[in-house]
Amino acid sequence: MKIYDRQGTPNAARIRIVLAEKGLDRQVEFATIDLVAAEQKADWFLALNPVGKTPVLVLEDGLALSECTAITEYLDNLDGRPVLTGSTPREKGLIHMMQRRAEILLLEPVDDYFHYAIRALGAAVEPWRQPEWEGRGEWGQRRGAEAIRNLSWFDEVLRDRPFLAGDRYSMADISLWAGLGFGRAAGLQFPAYLGALAEWEKRFEALPAVIGRSGKELLPQDLTRR
């Protein structure tokens, strides 16, 4: 299997955690995509994923899977013992819903903040807004504020369960964690008073698939100074 991604980006991190959880790290070859140089918008890459985003997992038979959720479903079910996407209908439904909420309420607004409030990936990817754009990303600013507000909902959920979909972690928690790290790296100031969320983050970072890797191996550092 081959993965096209860029180490240190939030969506690459999501899949790298899945690979570690499933013990699949060694069965995958990585190819780095230069996101700042817009390699993800080149014709050869768009033939793999017309959305022009990473990661993409290419299987031995040539099938190219994009979207972290689809890639996670595939990897989690390869050994017939899914642990991140649920095994009963109830678990699957709940995990899918929580995962999507982590995207809608956090990852997507943070991504909009990154692309429309700060310089993001730069001129090769977003030429239409250079250089006049600086400081004018009002919509991006509003999306950043939404991401901050939405964190309270996750805090409330995590007050009465250790992980978003219950007693064990799932792909929903991976998405939430990636959203938090992405937001911080993009310069969003998340409130410190959300105690249940802070405890959950410690629990998540102590998981065998994550421990010791939460620094720049997995997450972006400072995205505000490009």
Ligand X SMILES: N[C@@H](CCC(=O)N[C@@H](CS)C(=O)NCC(=O)O)C(=O)O
Give the single-character DSSP code of 12.
Answer: H
For residue 196, the SS3 value is helix
CB 168 within 8 A of CB 204: no
**Nearest distance in Å: CB 11, ligand X:** 4
Q: Which two tokens stand for residue 36?
A: 């700042």
CB 9 within 8 A of CB 218: no
| Span from 21-29, 49-57, 145-153, 199-207 in contact with ligand X (CB under 6 A) | 49-57
Q: Which two tokens stand for residue 85?
A: 């996407």
- The CA-based diameter of the chain, rounded to the nearest angstrom, is 52
Alpha helices by DSSP H, the chain: 10-22, 43-48, 68-77, 89-102, 108-116, 138-157, 171-185, 195-205
Q: From residue 182 to residue 201, what is the string marking binding to ligand X with x (rule CB under 6 A)? A: --------------------
Binds ligand X by CB under 6 A, chosen from 20, 125, 145, 148: 125
Instruction: Identify any residues that bridge with 58 across adjacent strands, giving them in sequence order.
Output: 2, 64
Binds ligand X by CB under 6 A, chosen from 3, 11, 75, 76: 11
Number of residues engaging ligand X in binding (CB under 6 A): 13
Binds ligand X by CB under 6 A, chosen from 16, 22, 53, 96: 53
**Nearest distance in Å: CB 107, ligand X:** 8
Instruction: Identify any residues that bridge with 180 across adjacent strands, giving them in sequence order.
Output: none
Task: Confirm or reject binding of residue 10 to ligand X (CB under 6 A).
Answer: yes
Q: From residue 74 to residue 113, what is the string marking binding to ligand X with x (rule CB under 6 A)? A: -------------------------------------x--
| Span from 4-12, 19-27, 84-92, 144-152 in contact with ligand X (CB under 6 A) | 4-12
Question: Which residue is it, tokens 């899949």?
Answer: 15
Binds ligand X by CB under 6 A, chosen from 3, 17, 18, 35: 35
Burial degree of 142 (CB within 10 A; 0-12, 13-18, 19+): middle
Task: Confirm or reject binding of residue 9 to ligand X (CB under 6 A).
Answer: yes
Judged by beta carbon, residue 67 or residue 205, the one nearer ligand X is 67
For residue 163, the SS3 value is strand
Sites of contact with ligand X (CB under 6 A) = 9-11, 35, 40, 52-54, 67-68, 111, 121, 125
